[in-house]
């Protein structure tokens, strides 16, 4: 269920995102472009139903999405992907899940959750730029499952094999769409070569910010 994009524009922008000299402004723009292209791939099999529309000349057959779409960014880095998804899916509903990683145990800790109703009727996209250990992704998927979500898809920017395995073992039915599959994790659980802390780079913050 792992889908690693080979799109040349995505690969160009991933290189921009990796560069430590890329400013937050440029980083956000590149992340937005990658997110739109990842949605193109992650939405290629969304169910549709036919409809009739009136053109200036005559009626014709058309298509509309058959399922509600719910976006659930993992706070805070996942917020950097939401606007790009909403540009393509303006009717989408948006939930939020807050998870942070305990730096000693590397386990996720939930601190916030707010979701649209009837998740069982929707296709739910979990948005998180970094799939490292997979702990946060699995925790988010489990929380959404308890709220009724059945059709879930995980969209990430950069993934580590360890995280992919963790998600696949816990949720083998959930497809993973990613722009890059990196080498692995270092001894602190960070993706290498990776691109640093996505949240800090999106919002121009750092460990010493106040």
Q: Which of 36, 68, 197, 205 is catalytic?
A: 197
Q: Select which of 15, 45, 105, 120 is catalytic.
A: 105
- Residue 101: active-site member: yes
Catalytic residue among 36, 68, 142, 200: 200
Residue 159 near residue 136, CB atoms below 8 Å: no
Three-state secondary-structure class, residue 196: coil
Q: Which of 18, 101, 142, 205 is catalytic?
A: 101
* 197 included as an active-site residue: yes
Q: Beta strand pairing status for 48-54 and 2-4?
A: unpaired
- Taking 3-state DSSP, the helix, strand and coil percentages for the chain, each rounded to the nearest 5, stand at 35, 30, 35
- For the chain, report the end-to-end CA distance as a whole number of angstroms: 40
Active site residues: 101, 105, 197, 200
């Amino acid at each position: 269920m792992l889908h690693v994009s080979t799109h040349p524009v995505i690969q160009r922008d991933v290189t921009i995102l990796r560069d430590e000299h890329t400013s937050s402004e440029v980083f956000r723009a590149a992340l937005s472009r990658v997110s739109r292209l990842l949605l193109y791939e992650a939405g290629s099999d969304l169910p549709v139903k036919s409809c009739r529309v009136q053109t200036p000349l005559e009626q014709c057959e058309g298509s509309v999405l058959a399922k509600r779409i719910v976006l659930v960014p993992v706070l805070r880095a996942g917020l950097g992907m939401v606007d790009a998804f909403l540009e393509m899916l303006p009717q989408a509903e948006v939930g939020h899940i807050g998870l942070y990683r305990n730096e000693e145990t590397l386990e996720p800790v939930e601190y916030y959750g707010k979701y649209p109703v009837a998740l069982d009727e929707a296709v739910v996209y979990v948005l998180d730029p970094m799939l490292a250990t997979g702990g946060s992704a699995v925790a988010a998927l489990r929380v959404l499952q308890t709220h009724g979500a059945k059709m879930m898809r995980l969209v990430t920017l950069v993934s580590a094999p360890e995280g992919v395995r963790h998600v696949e073992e816990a949720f083998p039915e959930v497809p993973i769409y990613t722009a890059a599959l990196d080498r692995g994790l270092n001894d602190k659980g960070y993706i290498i070569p990776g691109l640093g802390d996505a949240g800090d780079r999106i919002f121009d913050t750092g460990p010493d910010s106040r």
